[in-house]
Amino acid sequence: MQTTIHSLKKGQKATILDFDIDLIPLKLLEMGCLPGNDVELLQVAPFGDPLYLDINGSHLAIRIETAKLIEVELINTSEK
Amino acid sequence: MSLKNINVALIGNPNVGKTSVFNQLTGLNQQVGNYPGITVEKKMGFCKLPNNIKANILDLPGTYSLNASSIDESVVIELLLNKNDRLYPDVALVVTDVENLKRNLLLYTQIKDLEIPTILVINMADRMETKGISLDILYLEEHLKTKIALISSRKGHGIEELKNLIISYKTISAEPCLNASVIDKPYFDSLQQAFPNQLLYKLWLVITQDVNFLNLERNEIRSTFTKSHSDLKRLQQKETIKRYQFINNVLKEGLKIDTSIAKDYRSKLDRVLTHKVWGYAIFFVILFVIFQSIFEWSKIPMDFIDSTFASLSSMTSEHLPSGMLTNLISQGIIPGIGGILIFIPQIAFLFLFISILEESGYMSRVVFLMDKIMRRFGLSGKSVVPLISGTACAIPAIMATRNIENWKERLITILVTPFTTCSARLPVYAIIIGLVIPDTYVFGILNLQGLTLMLLYVIGFGMAIFAAYILNLILKVKGKTFFVVEMPNYKLPMFKNVAINVIEKTKAFVSGAGKIILAISIILWFLASYGPGKEFKDAEKIVFENAKEHPLSSTEFENAVASQKLENSYIGLMGRGIEPVISPLGYDWKIGIAIISSFAAREVFVGTLATIYSVGGTDNENTIKNKMADEVNPVTGEKIFNFASGISLLMFYAFAMQCASTLAITKKETNSWKWPAGQLVFMSTLAYVVALIAFQILK
């Protein structure tokens, strides 16, 4: 199922599909946020923002406004 | 072998233990300075290698890649692009964390493209076992075209092997390990053809980065090969993907992780420390402990320093032959130095806590926890660190705003940080609270003086947040907003790193602030000891004439002469000059002098009053506080330091922008005089108005 990082639930994993390159900070790409890499939502801050993610082995926090820009495909954990 | 020292540069991502590698290599043999013209910290050290070879170790600021997003990162690129720089490395050590090898290698592949001999340092090797990681070093060395030092800077393992590798730097490959230019071959081929003598990757960096590079060349390169911002970024994305492909391929063979062995305490700690109730509770407990220690634990050493200098001052004036020089020493220089050294315990405690919080990885969790709340006021979660550091000193606090990516949030943080109660305000608060707030207990346990001090801290923070809210509404600053925080692994802070950090920071504060305070206290002494007119020169005669009808004892006479002189000295005239402006606030001309002299540095206030009252009296034993308590208004006979004027002074010092160094750093960080000027005008006006209201209501 296609969605964005913003709508992941805690503990859910997904694969990054695409994003608007003009709006995504280069630093995030360098941290491993690239199409094809996996992302897992680890924690959500109180009041729902920012999000604490594991992207391709890097642990980082981004705000929801950025998370909304990143399209992902959910990894179905039951198939695993 | 030449006798020249080998230049070694330490390069690496933040949180890889680069600083502890630096500390291991150099011990205490290090100097901290600034890069010319900017306030980025420059850490140099010196290391003895085997065979009598010596090395200069340069610890470059942590950077995620060679695409700079802050001034600290630009320093790294500028140095690596300039072969003529005195510090240009003979060999680069790229420090990586074995648990984050994949991401850390991105920077490594970029450094390799600059064709500098590069050693790959894989740090934190002691954690490989618990994380189930195994490495094929030979395979990695072959494919990454380097030599690898597997070390643990925490345990001190592998440091000797690393030193031996540094000696043999001439045998280490300077070849790139991948060819990233295939992402757009025609473009890069023509770029290389146009500048056949330049490194291709260097040219690419000159095109994409906003760094100082021989300007003429840069314009030439850019004019023909520039692309739209969006196209450049697309190419940068392709470049990053290309590099990661290469890294993934190498690590597929070279790095094995057995996840069944891996122990994970990180997620458990995260669950508690970022919890919506426990997270905040723990954070506030930590803050409380920090403030408690700053006030309670540092009291004893501070009292000791204070009394030592008071007795030193009276000793010099007793034992040295009396005269100008002795007066300058005992009344100008010694109180001046004492006024600086008294800050050391508090500054040291604060830096101790901040470096423990940063080393342990907890600070990132605070950023995560506070971001949403802070954003309501136009700040960022990352503003928490500057606002806490601001309780020590606004200067390092403003420098700590550099990792706030969003310019508007960063600007607001810079502008409001000076409202937080810095340690320079403490002595002012301490002496005035001691004078005007009774030393009694509320509810039997809470000391009223302590409570007042805490309230002043709350007012400082409150005003910072309120000013941020207002600025957020007013400022129309455009800037891309984004926020990326790395959440590093939890680590037990290393004693050596913390200790060195505390010593360095305290030293920097003392020598920085020290020069100003010392200079001001000497100037002040001169201004207080000389005067222009007859009233000053003929002080004895005038007092004698006035006292004809009521004969004075000899001490009374001396005191009267001294205050006649002070009143007519240069500084006295200045103080009386501004008296009409400040008397609505409840201050007399002596306080006026203290306010003028503390305009450049507020901590001078107490020192000034010390100097004024030392110059204006003959007894040295009586403490300054007692002298201040005895001051009365000659017209009304009321005490000068009463409740109303005391509160008014506290308010004035809480809000006024009296710190030349902060203004200078704001100018440097914002690159414009507009912002520090605004800070000065706004804060001074606010201070005056609030102090005026306070005095008029309370008197």
CA distance B515 to chain A (A): 40
Mean pLDDT value of segment B267-275: 90
Q: How far apart are CA B665 and CA B628, in angstroms?
A: 34
Interface contact A11, partner B, CB < 8 A: no
Residue B666 belongs to domain spanning? 509-675+682-698
Q: How far apart are CA A17 and CA B569, in angstroms?
A: 77
Q: How far apart are CA B468 and CA A19, in angstroms?
A: 33
The answer to whether the Cβ–Cβ distance between A27 and B230 falls below 8 Å is no
pLDDT digit string, tens, across residues B215-224: 556 777 777 7
Which residue on chain B is closest to A54 by alpha carbon? B487
Chain A residues near residue B405 by CB distance under 8 angstroms: 25, 27
**Residue-level pLDDT at B621:** 47
More confident residue, B260 or B688: B688
Chain A residues near residue B368 by CB distance under 8 angstroms: 43, 45, 50, 52, 61
Q: Which of B240, B245, B247, B8 lies closest to B105, judged by CA?
A: B247
> Are B89 and B202 found together in one domain?
no
CA distance B302 to chain A (A): 40
**Residue-level pLDDT at B36:** 65
Query: Which of B104-118, B309-323, B511-525, B607-621 ranks highest by mean pLDDT?
Result: B104-118
Nearest to B482 among A25, A43, A48 (CB): A25
pLDDT higher than threshold 90 for residue B675: yes
Size of interface A-B (CB pairs under 8 A): 116
Q: How far apart are CA B80 and CA B87, in angstroms?
A: 9
Confidence of residue B56 (pLDDT cuts 50, 70, 90): very high
CA distance A20 to chain B (A): 10
Q: How far apart are CA B663 and CA B658, in angstroms?
A: 9
- Asked which of B238, B257, B286 is the last residue of a domain, the reply is B238
CA distance B234 to chain A (A): 7
Which of A44, A63, A64, A69 to probe by mutation at the B interface, max B CB count within 10 Å? A63
Q: How far apart are CA B140 and CA B656, in angstroms?
A: 58
**Residue-level pLDDT at A80:** 42
Lowest mean per-residue pLDDT among B41-55, B96-110, B539-553, B588-602: B539-553
**Residue-level pLDDT at A15:** 94
Confidence of residue B479 (pLDDT cuts 50, 70, 90): low
To the question of whether residue B61 is assigned a binding role by annotation, the answer is yes
Lowest mean per-residue pLDDT among A6-10, B364-368, B606-610: B606-610
Interface contact B52, partner A, CB < 8 A: no
Residue B506, amino acid = T
The answer to whether the Cβ–Cβ distance between A62 and B484 falls below 8 Å is yes
The answer to whether the Cβ–Cβ distance between A26 and B69 falls below 8 Å is yes
Nearest to A50 among B103, B276, B371 (CB): B371
Which residue on chain A is closest to B270 by alpha carbon? A43
pLDDT digit string, tens, across residues B390-405: 887 888 888 888 878 7
- Asked which of B119, B146, B171 is the last residue of a domain, the reply is B171
Chain A residues near residue B274 by CB distance under 8 angstroms: 43, 45-46, 52
pLDDT digit string, tens, across residues B390-449: 887 888 888 888 878 788 899 999 999 999 998 788 878 888 888 888 888 877 777 788
**Residue-level pLDDT at B601:** 75
**Residue-level pLDDT at B59:** 92
> Are B73 and B138 found together in one domain?
yes
Burial environment of residue B674 by CB neighbours within 10 A (0 to 12, 13 to 18, 19 or more) = exposed
The answer to whether the Cβ–Cβ distance between A61 and B64 falls below 8 Å is no
Interface contact A30, partner B, CB < 8 A: yes
> Are B162 and B220 found together in one domain?
no
**Residue-level pLDDT at B196:** 85
Lowest mean per-residue pLDDT among A34-38, A65-69, B285-289, B456-460: B285-289
Q: How far apart are CA B431 and CA B605, in angstroms?
A: 10
Q: Is residue B439 part of a domain?
A: no
The answer to whether the Cβ–Cβ distance between A58 and B103 falls below 8 Å is yes
CA distance B483 to chain A (A): 6
Confidence of residue A78 (pLDDT cuts 50, 70, 90): low
pLDDT higher than threshold 80 for residue B600: no
DSSP for B126-177, written as a single string: GGHHHHTEEE-HHHHHHHHTSEEEE-BTTTTBTHHHHHHHHHTGGGS--S-S
DSSP for B399-434, written as a single string: HGGGG--SHHHHHHHHHHGGGS--TTHHHHHHHHHH
Q: What does the DSSP 8-state code read for residue B9?
A: E
Q: Which of B20, B156, B125, B89 lies closest to B499, judged by CA?
A: B20
Burial environment of residue B326 by CB neighbours within 10 A (0 to 12, 13 to 18, 19 or more) = middle
**Residue-level pLDDT at A2:** 84
Which residue on chain A is closest to B98 by alpha carbon? A57
Chain A residues near residue B244 by CB distance under 8 angstroms: 32, 34
Nearest to B368 among A26, A34, A52 (CB): A52
Confidence of residue B620 (pLDDT cuts 50, 70, 90): very low
**Residue-level pLDDT at B470:** 93
Mean pLDDT value of segment A41-55: 92
Q: How far apart are CA A10 and CA A26, in angstroms?
A: 26
pLDDT digit string, tens, across residues B79-91: 898 888 888 999 9
**Residue-level pLDDT at B513:** 67
The answer to whether the Cβ–Cβ distance between B480 and A25 falls below 8 Å is yes
Confidence of residue B372 (pLDDT cuts 50, 70, 90): very high
> Are B161 and B189 found together in one domain?
no
Six-digit token string for B7: 């230049």
Q: Is residue B486 part of a domain?
A: no
Fold of A2-79: SH3 type barrels. (2.30.30)
**Residue-level pLDDT at B34:** 67
> Are B137 and B195 found together in one domain?
no
pLDDT higher than threshold 70 for residue B238: yes
pLDDT higher than threshold 70 for residue A62: yes
Q: From the centroid of its chain, how far is CA B691? A: 29
The answer to whether the Cβ–Cβ distance between B381 and A32 falls below 8 Å is no
Q: Give me chain B's average pLDDT, please.
A: 85
pLDDT higher than threshold 80 for residue B622: no
Chain A residues near residue B267 by CB distance under 8 angstroms: 42
pLDDT digit string, tens, across residues B335-344: 777 767 877 8
**Residue-level pLDDT at B1:** 45
Contact B425, B658 (CB under 8 A): no
pLDDT higher than threshold 70 for residue B214: no
Chain B residues near residue A47 by CB distance under 8 angstroms: 276, 372-373
CA distance B154 to chain A (A): 22
CA distance B512 to chain A (A): 34
**Residue-level pLDDT at B481:** 67
Share of chain B above pLDDT 70, in %: 93
CA distance B44 to chain A (A): 27
> Are B655 and B622 found together in one domain?
yes
pLDDT digit string, tens, across residues B138-166: 999 999 999 999 999 988 899 999 999 99
pLDDT higher than threshold 80 for residue A21: yes
Q: How far apart are CA B387 and CA B269, in angstroms?
A: 25
Interface contact B480, partner A, CB < 8 A: yes
Rounded to 10°, the helix B643-655/B448-474 angle is 40
Q: Which of A51, A52, A59, A56 lies closest to A32, judged by CA?
A: A56
Mean pLDDT value of segment B602-610: 76
Which residue on chain A is closest to B483 by alpha carbon? A62
Mean pLDDT value of segment B641-649: 91
Which of B372, B384, B407 to probe by mutation at the A interface, max A CB count within 10 Å? B372
3-state DSSP helix/strand/coil % of chain A, to nearest 5: 20, 40, 40
**ipTM entry:** 0.93
> Are B126 and B210 found together in one domain?
no
More confident residue, B92 or B596: B92
Which residue on chain B is closest to A34 by alpha carbon? B241
Chain A residues near residue B77 by CB distance under 8 angstroms: none
pTM, 2 dp: 0.82
Nearest to B67 among A30, A35, A50 (CB): A30
To the question of whether residue B23 is assigned a binding role by annotation, the answer is yes
Q: Which of B356, B358, B355, B388 lies closest to B374, judged by CA?
A: B388
**Residue-level pLDDT at A79:** 45
Mean pLDDT value of segment B639-648: 89
Chain B residues near residue A65 by CB distance under 8 angstroms: 481
> Are B523 and B619 found together in one domain?
yes
* Domain of residue B100, CATH code: 3.40.50.300
**Residue-level pLDDT at B415:** 95
CA distance B98 to chain A (A): 12
Interface contact A76, partner B, CB < 8 A: no
pLDDT higher than threshold 90 for residue B278: yes
To the question of whether residue B27 is assigned a binding role by annotation, the answer is yes
Burial B59-85 (b: 16+ CB within 10 A, else e): bbbbbbbbbbbbbbbbbbbbbbbeeee
Phi, psi at A18, each rounded to 5°: -165, 165
Q: Is residue B628 part of a domain?
A: yes
Confidence of residue B618 (pLDDT cuts 50, 70, 90): very low
List beta partners, residue B118: B92
Task: Provide the 10 A C-beta neighbour count for residue B129.
Answer: 11
Total tally of structural domains belonging to chain B: 3
- Asked which of B219, B238, B257 is the last residue of a domain, the reply is B238
> Are B233 and B130 found together in one domain?
no
pLDDT higher than threshold 50 for residue B463: yes
> Are B161 and B232 found together in one domain?
no
The answer to whether the Cβ–Cβ distance between A59 and B486 falls below 8 Å is yes
